[in-house]
Chain A
Amino acid sequence: MDVATVDLWATSGRSYLHRASPAAKLIAAALLLAGVILVLNVLVVATVFVLVLAVARRSGIPVGRFTLAALYPGIFALLFALAQFHGDFFIPATTIAKAVTAASVVVLLIATTPYPRLFAALRPVLPDTIVEVLYVTYRSVFILLRVLGDAFTSVRLRGGSAGAGLRARLRNAAAALAVGAVYSFDVSERTYAVMRLRGYSGRISGEQAGGLRPADLPLVTGAVLVAALVVLFRCEWRALNPFSWMPLAAAITIFAVALVLPRRASPAGQRPVTEIVRGDAE
Chain B
Amino acid sequence: MSGEAHSHAGAGGLANDSADDLAARISCVKHRYEDGSRVELCGLDFVVERGQRVTVLGPNGSGKTTLLFHLVGILRPSEGTVSVMGVDPAHDFAKVRRQIGVVLQNVDEQLLAPTVWDDVSFSPRQYGLPKDEVARRTERALELLGIGDLRDKVPHYLSGGEKRKVAIAGALAMEPELLILDEPFEGLDPHARRQVLDLLNRLVTERGMTLITSTHDVNIVPEMADEVYVLAHGGHIVLHGAPIEVFLHADLLRASNIEPPVLAQLFERLARRTGRSLPMPATIDEATERLAELALHDGGAPAVEGLDHKDRAEKHTT
Contact = CB atoms under 8 A, between A and B. Distances in A.
A250 to B, nearest CB: 37
Given A139-B156, A187-B109, A198 B114 contact: no
Contact of A139 (B97, B106, B112, B152): B112
B127 A282 contact: yes
Interface residues of A, number: 44
Contacts of A194: 102, 104, 109-110, 112
Interface string B142-160: 0000000001101111000
Nearest to A140: B109
Contacts of A157: none
Interface in B194-224: none
B170 interface: yes
Interface residues of B, number: 39
Contact of B114 (A138, A191, A280, A281): A138
Interface stretch (A22-30, A77-85, A163-171, A270-278): A270-278
Given A195-B112, A280-B128, A274 B121 contact: yes
A282 B157 contact: no
A142 interface: yes
Contact of B151 (A138, A199, A272): A272
B273 interface: no
Interface in A1-20: 4, 7-8, 11-12
Given A273-B115, A276-B125, A279-B128, A198 B170 contact: yes
A135 B98 CA distance: 23
**For B111, B121, B122, B135, which residue has the most chain A Cβ atoms within 10 angstroms?**
B122
Nearest to B180: A197
A193 interface: yes
A146 B115 CA distance: 18
Instruction: Name, among B102, B106, B130, B134, the residue most crowded by chain A CB atoms within 10 Å (CB to CB).
Output: B134
Contact of B128 (A7, A273, A282): A282
Interface string A165-204: 0000000000000000000000100110111111111001
Contact of B102 (A142, A187, A197): A197
A122 to B, nearest CB: 15
Nearest to B135: A276
Interface in B58-85: 72, 74
Contacts of B94: 201, 282
Contact of B72 (A138, A197, A282): A197
B117 interface: yes
A198 to B, nearest CB: 5
Interface string A238-282: 000000000000000000000000000000011111101111111
10 contacts: A7-B154, A115-B114, A139-B114, A143-B108, A194-B110, A195-B112, A198-B102, A199-B127, A273-B115, A282-B98
Interface of B: 72, 74, 93-94, 97-98, 100, 102, 104, 106, 108-115, 117-118, 121-123, 125-128, 130-131, 134-135, 151-152, 154-157, 170, 174
Q: Enumerate the 5 nearest inter-chain pairs by beta-carbon distance, A residue then B residue, closest first.
A: A199-B126, A281-B128, A272-B117, A116-B114, A142-B156
